[in-house]
A and B are shown apart, each in its own frame.
Chain A
Amino acid sequence: MTERADAATVEKASRPAPRPLGTGYRAPWSDRIAEAVIRGLALVSVLSIALIFVFIAKEAIPLFFEPEAQQEFGGLAALFSPRTWPGYDASVFIWQPVGGTPKMNLVPLFVGTLKITVLGMLFSVPLAVLAAIFVSQYATRRAREVLKPALELMASIPSVVLGFFALMVLASLMQDTLGLPSRLNALVAAVGLAIAIAPVVFTVSEDALSSVPRELAAAALALGARKHQVVLRIVLPAALPGIAAGAILGFGRAIGETMIVLMASGNAAVVELFDPTSSARTVTATIASELGEVTPGDAHWRVLFLLGSLLFVVTFVLNRLAVWVVEALQRRWTAGASR
């Protein structure tokens, strides 16, 4: 639901904000206390986000200043560059953090995360946007009243349930029908992920499409445009900022999703960007499955926190990007319109 709220505030951001109602007079003391409490709670939520980041970064940062911790996995460069490890014939990216020589190369995890996330987006965004167009533009009122809540209800399915579904049902089904070499792979995880993020993208897109002023469509129809012309050339462009925001928020959710990929992707840290049928290990799944075991303070622990910090930064940047894209698109499509 926060995604939805974000999009709504974004759409209103361009207008100058009027003074909040009910602030022009001296409120009774009970109201003022309540206001202070609520303001405090709001501050707490902002502060806690900042503190969470500080805490995670605090555990990761010593990695850059402790030579002995760096030595454990062969120096900072070993986190990002391939290396010919003892026992290997060629220079490779390897994530095997436990063993005689810990190998903590982050590239396989980034590749896995990117692969599953992009695949999940490829499945979910077109479907979600088409569903949003249908529900907002074509569906009868009765169909809409059933479809919209049903699709939004999908957003509340716990991801562990989706992961279980992907693991038990989807994996066998897809291996049998597509003849995949292994049961659990990036494709299965991406389909599971798509089910999780499609409702997010749908909800935001549908809101954007429904809030396009009816006058625009009415005017186009009056000028002789067909229904599909109205939808494709009037309503869709006008709602594009909202749809883009939905897609970016969906991406943020997908990159942070843990349970589905943990259960359905097979978690093999292979560096194979373009083969969807191979297994993949994501950053989130790695943190979830390894953090419980590591000794607090050692190099493996710090690298996992580094991964967490990177994930935090990426999702934060994506959220800002969503706001920025929406504003930029809005300026473009409303250029020349009277304010």
Chain B
Amino acid sequence: MIRPLPLLVAVVSLVFASACSGGHRSRARAGAEGGAVQAGERVSVKGSDTMVVLAQQLAERYMQTHPGTGLEVSGGGSGTGIAALLNRTTDIADASRPLNARERGQLPAAVETRVALDALAVYVHHTNRLPSVTMAQLALVFRGRITNWSELGGEDRPIVLYSRENNSGTYAYFKEHVLGGNDFAAAAQTLPGTAAVIHAVAHDRNGIGYGGIGFGTGVRTVPVATEDGAPVAPTLENATSGLYPLSRFLCMVTREPPTGATRAFLDWVVSPEGQAVVTPAGFYPMP
């Protein structure tokens, strides 16, 4: 025999609990969209996995000096961040690539604030002695036309490709600037984040991967040569001077010209105080 009363109480209290938490949430959101700077302001930052460490460190430092503002940082990929901006679930989208034409069409008033300079590094296993690689070779490797290290002057071993998921800004950048818009090889493994690529390459003698320079520990980064030039190592001087072929700007995007707490945060990020956080996070400050 089931006793109905406890069940009823449980059901009713559950319904109430969810209703209450829902109401609380929507009130919090309303506050965030209000605009003016006031105590307890919340700003959400979502997007590029490459930028998530940078954004967290910026947020931590900012909240120490500006106790009135709470920043919520999450990753997911540049595309995810921009999609969140589109359906108004975030205030700022981190993007490691510029908006594409379709996104630009959907967010006509969007403002991209360049916050740092990033160089994409090409990683190999630390025992791999490959001295350098040209952009053309890199394209052939990741398109699956070069499948053995011996074709690049290395040992007779197969090449295992590590790439990123297709929602990644790094993926989009690499596809456009290195592969010339061509597809990655079907055999390229797609991993959810630069840290996963680093982990995979660090454990695979045959592996090659790409990702932000800020992550390159445990793997060897290979200097990249342009068609005519000498190999260039991914360093600050080479990235800021434009010599290194794989560098890009990291952006924080807002729906429209930023206001209120969002604006205060973005202004701080591009100020010398904010830019001081960029280098420890593994990127280069804006030149």
A interface with B by C-beta (< 8 Å) = 22, 30-31, 33-35, 37-38, 41, 85, 87, 92, 94-100, 103, 108, 171-172, 175, 181-184, 262, 266-271, 278-279, 281, 289-290, 292-296, 298
Contacts and interface: CB of A to CB of B under 8 A. Distances in A.
Contacts of B106: 295
A37 B165 contact: no
Contacts of A38: 2, 7
B11 A108 contact: no
Given A267-B191, A295-B102, A295-B103, 17 more contacts: A34-B2, A38-B2, A38-B7, A85-B183, A94-B183, A94-B186, A98-B172, A99-B175, A181-B160, A183-B207, A266-B189, A278-B187, A292-B167, A293-B80, A294-B83, A295-B106, A298-B102
A271 B181 contact: no
Interface in B106-121: 106
Nearest to A183: B204
B200 interface: yes
A289 B183 contact: no
Contacts of B77: 292-293
Contacts, number: 109
Nearest to A93: B186
A95 B192 CA distance: 17
A297 to B, nearest CB: 11
B187 A279 contact: yes
B190 A281 contact: yes
A74 to B, nearest CB: 14
Contact of A184 (B5, B171, B181, B189): B189
B200 A270 contact: no
Main secondary structure of the interface of A (DSSP, over half): loop
19 contacts: A30-B4, A30-B5, A35-B4, A87-B183, A98-B171, A108-B186, A175-B204, A181-B158, A182-B160, A183-B207, A184-B200, A267-B190, A268-B186, A268-B188, A278-B187, A281-B190, A289-B165, A294-B79, A295-B103
B217 interface: no
Nearest to B186: A270
A294 B11 CA distance: 37
